[in-house]
Chains A and B, each alone.
Chain A
Amino acid sequence: MLDRQNYLKVKLFLKYSREVNGRSSLQISNDFEHLKALLLWAGSQPLGSAHAFNTSLSDFLFQKVVKGLDQAELQNILNTNERFFLWAKAMFPVEFQSIRLSWIMKISVISEGKEVII
């Protein structure tokens, strides 16, 4: 079972994106699909301790989700997740205090030498 608090944070982020950043319904729908990968990656663990998870998000995507995705789509997923963590760190500073900005900025970098299965 996934952590409901993570799901609620994702929903709050999507609401913020729509109302404050003015993202369209289609963009919100795409963002939600991208963030589902994040929720599955976190599982029952809180996202506030994401930096301590055993596998990195990009590794998880390569292992579980990446089948049928191209490099550009994978990059989009990682970019959306980076935007989410930046927002979460600003909105929940106490809960996300152990997550460093440098760690967040590395989320969207796909490791060298990894091939995407198309």
Chain B
Amino acid sequence: MSENQNTLNCRISRNVLIKAPGLLPMLYTPREIAEDLDVPETTLRDWLNHGAPHSRDESNHIWIDGKQFGAWVDNQRNSRKKSTHQLQTGEGFCMRCNTIVKIQDGEIRPVKGNLSHLKGKCPICGGIVNRGIWNAGSSELPQG
């Protein structure tokens, strides 16, 4: 039966991220998988305590499915990736509020070539918000 305790995010080294997809579809002991991934066995056992997929047999020996473990490592990597937000027209990032805001009273000034500078005010704190924009048109300016 499989055991999944704390499902917290673990720090996975780059070396493991590269090697984990090469694990074979078979049951490994913790020592074997630690050797194949070139990590200390204690680190691997720590990952098992943090929710890495594994099972125990009647003798309470731990077995790890290589493919399931590879998928778990991949999942850990993806869950650590920060979600990105594409700024919409008229939006900017206020450094005071530390959030994306709709720029008020925006002015566009050409800088060089297609690059322009949009400068306006934050609707929350009233501070100045700047944004560099490519191919700026009148649509970049917020309404109202």
How does the 8 Å CB contact mask read for B8-29 relative to A, with 1 for contact and 0 for none? 0000000000000010111100
Provide the residues of chain A in CB contact with B25, threshold 8 Å. 1-2
| A36 close to chain B: CB less than 8 A | yes
Question: Do B22 and A7 touch (CB < 8 A)?
Answer: no
Of A4, A36, A40, chain B has the most CB atoms within 10 Å of the CB of: A4
B27: contacting residue among A1, A11, A40, CB under 8 A: A1
A99 to chain B, nearest CB (A): 22
* A66 contacts chain B at the CB level, 8 A cutoff: no
Q: What residues of chain B lie closer than 8 Å to A4, measured between beta carbons?
A: 26-27
Does A110 count as interface, using CB distance less than 8 angstroms? Answer: no
Size of the B side of the interface (Cβ < 8 Å), in residues, is 6
Taking the closest CB of chain B, its distance from the CB of A75, in whole angstroms, is 21
Chain B residues, CB < 8 A from A3: 26
Interface flag for A104 (CB, 8 Å):
no
Give Cα A33–Cα B27 distance, bound, in whole angstroms: 18
Chain B residue with Cβ nearest A40: B24
Residue A39, interface by CB 8 Å: yes
Assembly CA distance A4 to B63 (angstroms): 12
Q: How far is the CA of A11 from the CA of B33 in the complex (A)?
A: 12
Most A CB contacts (10 A, CB to CB) among B22, B25, B26, B32 go to B26
CA distance A2 to B24 in the complex (A): 8
In the assembled complex, the Cα of A40 lies from the Cα of B66 at a distance in Å of 13
CB-CB < 8 A to B24: which residues of A?
2, 7, 36, 39-40
A4 to B22, CA, bound (A): 16
Which of B22, B26, B32 is the one whose CB lies under 8 Å from A1?
A: B26
A2–B27 Cα distance when bound, in Å, is: 8
Question: Min CB distance, A69 to chain B, in Å?
Answer: 15
Chain A: which residue is nearest B36 at the CB level?
A32
B61 to chain A, nearest CB (A): 12
Residues of A within 8 A of B32 (CB): 7, 11
Question: Closest CB-CB distance, B127 to chain A, in whole Å?
Answer: 53
| Complex CA–CA separation, A3 to B26 (angstroms) | 7
Chain B residues whose CB sits within 8 angstroms of the CB of A7 once the complex forms? 24, 26, 32
- B residues near A (Cβ < 8 Å) are 22, 24-27, 32
Cβ-closest 8 pairs across A and B: A2-B26, A1-B26, A2-B24, A39-B24, A2-B25, A4-B26, A7-B26, A1-B25
- Between A and B, 6 residue pairs with Cβ closer than 8 Å are A3-B26, A7-B32, A11-B32, A33-B22, A39-B26, A40-B24
